[in-house]
């Protein structure tokens, strides 16, 4: 792809999405990490996107979700795993803005209290912490059935002594139980990117 071809219209995105990006978010060109990674995720392949903070990793993940739920596997659902409750609320707001024009519903799961969970059964996109995702897998055996794409934000935390094991088990279960599901892992600080990518069978 030529360097001048960084406009959203040059990528395999739904036409409505291209219009949304330019009109609502005023995005008329993508950053280099996005230009490089979007063809991979939009074709349905697993990806580990290791790039600096503020380079647009989240947008790549969001566009992969919309592509999957609108064009590739309509009727399926996405899971967006984040490490912190505060981050989950932020991602839900962003995701709702992007999902609304397509009639997609966003849910959240971040704890055990009722006010920390919404739309877990009927949402198209569920944003949750790693711990809540683990709980969902244990308590709702059919939760993974419709899942076609999983985003693992801050995937370097797989190496964290306290939170790493849960994230590692979650990703291992996804690969084992729904091997067809696309995994998009994001990190600004992963040191051994190739090793993690190999484990996730990702580019």
pLDDT for res 4: 54
Q: Pairing state of beta strands 117-118 and 147-152?
A: unpaired
Q: DSSP labels for 161-200?
A: TTTHHHHHHHHHHHHHH-TTSEEEEEESS-S-HHHHHHHT
Element (H, E) at 129: strand 125-129
Residues with Cβ within 8 Å of residue 162, at least 6 apart in sequence: none
pLDDT in tens, 118-147: 778 889 999 999 999 999 988 888 889 999
C-alpha span between 170 and 119 (Å, rounded): 20
pLDDT in tens, 50-59: 988 888 999 9
Question: For 110, what's the count of Cα atoms within 13 Å in the CB-facing half-sphere?
Answer: 16
Residue 71 DSSP label:
I
The rounded percent of the chain whose pLDDT value lies above 90 is 65
Q: DSSP labels for 88-109?
A: HHHHHHHHHHHHGGGT--EEEE
pTM to 2 decimal places: 0.92
């Amino acid at each position: 792809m030529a360097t001048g071809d960084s406009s959203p219209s040059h990528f395999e995105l739904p036409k409505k999405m291209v219009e949304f990006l330019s009109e609502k978010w005023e995005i008329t060109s993508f950053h280099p990490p996005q230009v490089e990674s979007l063809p991979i995720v939009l074709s349905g392949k697993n990806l580990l996107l290791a790039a600096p903070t503020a380079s647009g990793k989240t947008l790549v993940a969001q566009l992969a979700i919309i592509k999957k739920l609108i064009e590739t596997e309509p009727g399926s659902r996405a899971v967006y795993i984040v490490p912190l409750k505060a981050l989950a609320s932020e991602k839900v707001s962003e995701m709702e803005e992007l999902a609304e024009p397509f009639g997609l519903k966003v849910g959240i799961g971040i704890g055990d209290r009722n006010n920390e969970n919404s739309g877990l059964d009927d949402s198209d996109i569920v944003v949750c912490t790693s711990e809540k995702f683990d709980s969902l897998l244990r308590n709702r055996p059919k939760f993974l059935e419709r899942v076609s794409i999983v985003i693992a934000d801050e995937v370097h935390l797989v190496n964290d002594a306290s939170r790493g094991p849960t994230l590692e088990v979650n990703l291992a279960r996804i690969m084992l139980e729904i091997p067809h599901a696309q995994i998009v892992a994001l990190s600004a600080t992963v040191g051994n990117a190739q090793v993690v990518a190999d484990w996730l069978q990702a580019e």
